Chains A and B, each alone.
Chain A
Amino acid sequence: MNIGTRKILDRSFTAVGIGSIIVMAIALMIVVVPIVTNGIGAVFFTGTIEHRKMLLNEFRRGDSENLSSEVASSERYRANVYNMLTGFEAELETMAPEKKAEYKGKYSQVRSALQALLGPLPGDSAPMLTRSKYGQTRWEKAEEKLHDLLYESKWDNSNPDVMSKEYFVNRAIGFEGTSLVKLFPYVKDNLEKMLLPEFTVYWGFITDSSVDSHFFGGIWPEIQGTFFLAIGAMLFAFPLGVVAAVYFTEYAKPGFLNSMLRSANSTLAGVPSIVFGMFGLAFFINTLKVSESKSVIAGALTLAIMILPTIIRSAEEAILAVPKTYREASLSLGSTKWNTIMTVILPAALPGILTGGVISLGRAAGETAPIIFTAAVSVGSAIGLADVFSSPTPALSWNIYNLASEHEAASQIRHVQYGMVLALVSIVLLLNLSAIVVRARVSKKLKG
């Protein structure tokens, strides 16, 4: 091959390499950017007075004096709304029956849109659900609800050949000629004064429990559950895995049984995680009865079984990578095999073993399927350390799925979903970063 061809080959390979890295980076950005921006919105956002009321009532947090003066100022503007409502209700009574019926339907829509925006209105019975006790707590949501108040959404299905199309009708037009027509421009112009939006930093999103299935509050139970499950899995899998790796590398005699065990281990590493979930239910809960039903311990054990093969394999590799000369040096000094393993081989293999361990920890934190049947509940409070043997726990991975797909009001709590995703991604990332740091530090110590 002449120099020219070689150069062209080298260049084109470089170009392809750089190109694929750029594509990867773009794909990563497309995934990560919305997660980060939306997730951060769970903590940093423009909160309304409703958010501050909620914090004071549900979490006893905030300055009650300051809040009551805010409430007073907000109520001054809200009073006009209430007056318009009572005025229109009086007007309704004077109408002819069929007209009254027509307006009553439209009016109740207006009322519920207002309830969503501002919270319970005078004359409402005390709401049962916490979510109905407050208006919109986030300003961007309030703007959406304002739109719902101002415009009625209708569906155009005149043409049966195409999908129906949504279109909006100005509600004010429906109330032309009544006193309520003034309400719409008033709310539109004075919404800020009624809701008093201000920039809010809500760290409680990380440290609070949720209120009314994630309508308000934070995700601490999920974060804690994730840690309990991942660390619990590690407590079982790490020692067991390292011992197994030592057995495989140092003690096992080559032979049929040994190669069977090894290939079983490799196969296990490739089993889909849902299978581990089913196994965990069948074995740990139904057969061993480690707990009555779902519990942290059952989930941790299931996750442990799932990550065990990876830990064994990485520990094996780390041990095999220890130079043979260390072993020889130790044995030649009159060390026993056991001592050699404990004082020379394992310390030298430690960076590799730890790396494998922490990566497995990240995997245990992120997996959903193994805990569905064994440990996870959709909504719950943070459990104490003593309850791990009997109680299930919410966990980030499972609740992300649950909130996105099974929650009855999934579309209203997007910020919580993104917040959870960001929390989980951060935890896994942090674990992997710490693995890198630990590895670097231990290797540096070993290399001198």
Chain B
Amino acid sequence: MTVDAKDVSESAPVQKATRDIYLPPERKKISGGDTTHISAKEFSIYYGEFEAVKRVSADILSKYVTAIIGPSGCGKSTFLRSINRMNDLIPSCHTTGALLFDGEDVYGKFTDEVLLRKKVGMVFQKPNPFPKSIFDNIAYGPRLHGMNDKKKLMEIVERSLRKAAIWDEVCDRLDKNALGLSGGQQQRLCVARTLAVEPEVLLLDEPTSALDPKATAKIEDLIQELRGSYTIMIVTHNMQQASRVSDSTMFFYEGVLVEHASTAQLFTNPKDPMTEDYITGRFS
């Protein structure tokens, strides 16, 4: 077991560049949010011969919200899914370079991807609750990890649902099938299900693209709520959303990380002309 909960202070010291991205003078620092949580170094991801993500180097600060934007097919999902090794499901997929989580190599020989995924939770584009009751959906993760005490499970379920701001809507029908919920509720349920495992990182892959505006607003509020408690990475093709919810933004183009800057700066004063073209809508 290599990806262990280390004392955060032991993590690699935060580079000045990273600090500039996340902590520009006008922003308030999140307590505990000054360590590098995830760090990519010359990190490439291939599908067979095809290099979908190209030599990306970036540091993600813990407890902040990082948005990933870019035209579709530029490798956003691929990059995100590499962080909790969901790409392992695709046999042709392999990586070069290094991706560090808490200073440990995610693709190291001895890394336990099951433990890694416990710490790096993920919410998918399409809500994907299990065809089980709402309770069983939330309790699925804790049960997996050995929690069987009914009372404690109930506590976890309630806490997770409250954190995901859906408790009030479902508290009277926990035994009902989760597939009966609306799309927006299902997505928040999926967030709650992920939170129930008590991860450190929350990966969100276009979590609102299948939802209506009202449900989208709820998810965005939820991200604001969770900011400061979890390191959040959100892929979105909606630039307003990125600017609303994130502290820093990464812009990908054809697998290359073109620019990584504080959200305010990236949207008002992008350094790269390509970024400017994209955010001004000259291509998409």
Q: Which residues of A contact B (CB under 8 A)?
A: 323, 325-336, 339, 343-344, 347-348, 445-448
Find out whether the CB atom of A334 lies under 8 angstroms from the CB atom of B144. yes
- Indicate which residue in B89, B140, B177, B178 contacts A333 across the interface (CB closer than 8 Å): B140
Q: Which residues of A contact B141 (CB under 8 A)?
A: 333-335
Interface size of B in residues (CB-CB distance below 8 Å): 29
Bound-complex Cα distance A419 to B49 (A): 67
- In order of increasing CB-CB distance, the 7 nearest A-B pairs are A448-B177, A334-B118, A325-B128, A446-B131, A332-B122, A333-B141, A448-B180
For the complex, is B12 an interface residue (Cβ under 8 Å from A)? no
Bound-complex Cα distance A380 to B84 (A): 65
For the complex, is B117 an interface residue (Cβ under 8 Å from A)? yes
- Least CB separation from A323: chain B residue: B128
Bound-complex Cα distance A331 to B124 (A): 12
- Indicate which residue in B119, B126, B140, B145 contacts A330 across the interface (CB closer than 8 Å): B140
Bound-complex Cα distance A329 to B178 (A): 14
Task: Bits for B134-155, please: 1 = Cβ < 8 Å to A, else 0.
Answer: 0000001100110000000000
Bound-complex Cα distance A348 to B86 (A): 21
For the complex, is B1 an interface residue (Cβ under 8 Å from A)? no
| A335–chain B nearest beta-carbon distance, Å | 5
Q: Which one of B86, B131, B140, B178 has the highest number of Cβ atoms from chain A below 10 Å of its Cβ?
A: B131
Q: Which residues of B contact A339 (CB under 8 A)?
A: 144
Find out whether the CB atom of B144 lies under 8 angstroms from the CB atom of A335. yes
A331-B117 contact in complex given A448-B177, A448-B179, C-beta closer than 8 Å: yes
For the complex, is B194 an interface residue (Cβ under 8 Å from A)? yes
Can you name 17 A-B pairs with beta carbons within 8 Å? Answer: A329-B193, A330-B130, A331-B86, A332-B84, A332-B194, A333-B118, A333-B194, A333-B197, A334-B144, A334-B145, A334-B197, A335-B114, A339-B144, A343-B140, A446-B177, A448-B179, A448-B180
Q: Which residues of B contact A (CB under 8 A)?
A: 84, 86, 89, 114-115, 117-119, 121-122, 124, 126, 128-131, 140-141, 144-145, 176-180, 190, 193-194, 197
Q: Which one of A331, A344, A445, A447 has the highest number of Cβ atoms from chain B below 10 Å of its Cβ?
A: A331
| B145–chain A nearest beta-carbon distance, Å | 7
Bound-complex Cα distance A448 to B84 (A): 30
Bound-complex Cα distance A170 to B197 (A): 95
Find out whether the CB atom of B197 lies under 8 angstroms from the CB atom of A328. no
Bound-complex Cα distance A339 to B144 (A): 8
Find out whether the CB atom of A332 lies under 8 angstroms from the CB atom of B130. no
Find out whether the CB atom of A448 lies under 8 angstroms from the CB atom of B131. yes
Q: Which residues of B contact A326 (CB under 8 A)?
A: 128, 130-131
Find out whether the CB atom of A344 lies under 8 angstroms from the CB atom of B122. no
Q: Which residues of A contact B131 (CB under 8 A)?
A: 326, 347-348, 446-448
A332-B86 contact in complex given A325-B126, A447-B131, A448-B131, C-beta closer than 8 Å: yes
- Least CB separation from B190: chain A residue: A329
- Indicate which residue in A334, A348, A447 contacts B117 across the interface (CB closer than 8 Å): A334
- Indicate which residue in A327, A333, A344 contacts B193 across the interface (CB closer than 8 Å): A333
Bound-complex Cα distance A116 to B206 (A): 87
| B182–chain A nearest beta-carbon distance, Å | 13
Bound-complex Cα distance A343 to B130 (A): 10
Find out whether the CB atom of A328 lies under 8 angstroms from the CB atom of B128. yes
Q: Which residues of B contact A323 (CB under 8 A)?
A: 128
Q: Which residues of A contact B197 (CB under 8 A)?
A: 333-334
Bound-complex Cα distance A329 to B117 (A): 11
- Indicate which residue in A334, A347, A348 contacts B115 across the interface (CB closer than 8 Å): A334
| A18–chain B nearest beta-carbon distance, Å | 37
Bound-complex Cα distance A329 to B114 (A): 13
Bound-complex Cα distance A329 to B179 (A): 14
Bound-complex Cα distance A344 to B180 (A): 18
- Indicate which residue in A328, A348, A446, A448 contacts B89 across the interface (CB closer than 8 Å): A328
- Indicate which residue in A325, A334, A448 contacts B124 across the interface (CB closer than 8 Å): A325
A448-B176 contact in complex given A326-B128, A331-B89, A333-B141, C-beta closer than 8 Å: yes
Bound-complex Cα distance A334 to B141 (A): 7
- Least CB separation from B178: chain A residue: A448
Bound-complex Cα distance A334 to B176 (A): 24
| A250–chain B nearest beta-carbon distance, Å | 11
- Indicate which residue in B89, B118, B130, B176 contacts A329 across the interface (CB closer than 8 Å): B130
Q: Which residues of A contact B140 (CB under 8 A)?
A: 330, 333, 335, 343
Bound-complex Cα distance A331 to B118 (A): 9
- Indicate which residue in A327, A336, A343, A446 contacts B114 across the interface (CB closer than 8 Å): A336
Find out whether the CB atom of B128 lies under 8 angstroms from the CB atom of A333. no
Bound-complex Cα distance A331 to B140 (A): 11
Bound-complex Cα distance A242 to B62 (A): 44
